[in-house]
């Protein structure tokens, strides 16, 4: 097993920092399965076009932000877990964690995103 972050995940993060909306679909096609699922507290998408549309919408909400992986990663059963953050105007405005699953062909089949604020503990 390699300690290198998979190239398809690097391509996925490149998509988040690509300023040209027309360049997003080719990046997603290069790293994701046709029926890729993206799920986080704010969005649930299936497929390339839906993922691109969601990414464009997020980028419009935080224009000129920088998206980056903020940790190493661990791996189990084709699932990669790592932290990420979004920087805007010199400060981090969102932090989170992704669990990204690759399919047998090595493409991203699912991205499960979580924001770093965890829900409060509830009493039994």
The DSSP output letter for 4 is S
- Would residue 44 count as lying in a domain? yes
- Would residue 120 count as lying in a domain? no
- Would residue 90 count as lying in a domain? yes
- Could you list the residue range(s) of the whole structural domain that residue 87 is in? 7-115
Is the confidence at residue 87, as pLDDT, over 70? Answer: yes
Note the pLDDT tens digit of each residue in 100-118.
999 999 999 999 999 986 5
Q: For residues 26, 32, 36 and 40, what is the CA-based torsion angle, rounded to 10 degrees?
A: -90
Query: Side by side, which strands form the sheet with 79-88?
Result: 43-46, 32-40, 108-115, 91-102, 79-88, 66-76
- Would residue 123 count as lying in a domain? no
Q: In the structure, how many helices (H) and strands (E) does the chain have?
A: 3, 6
- Would residue 124 count as lying in a domain? no
Contact 124, 26 (CB under 8 A): no
- Total count of domains within the chain: 1
What CATH number is given to the structural domain containing 18? 3.10.450.50
Note the pLDDT tens digit of each residue in 16-59.
999 999 999 999 999 999 999 999 999 999 999 999 999 999 99
Largest CA distance in the chain: 50
Q: Which residue has the tokens 């691109």?
A: 52
- Would residue 73 count as lying in a domain? yes
């Amino acid at each position: 097993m390699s300690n290198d972050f998979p190239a398809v995940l690097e391509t996925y993060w490149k998509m988040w920092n690509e300023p040209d909306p027309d360049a997003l679909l080719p990046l997603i096609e290069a790293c994701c399965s046709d029926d890729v699922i993206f799920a986080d507290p704010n969005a649930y998408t299936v497929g390339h076009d839906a993922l691109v549309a969601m990414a464009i919408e997020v980028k419009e909400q935080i224009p000129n932000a920088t998206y980056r992986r903020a940790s190493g990663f661990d791996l189990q059963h084709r699932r990669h877990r790592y932290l990420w953050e979004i920087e805007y105007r010199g400060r981090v405005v969102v932090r989170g964690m992704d669990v990204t699953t690759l399919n047998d062909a090595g493409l991203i089949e699912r991205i499960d995103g979580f924001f770093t604020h965890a829900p409060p503990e509830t009493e039994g």
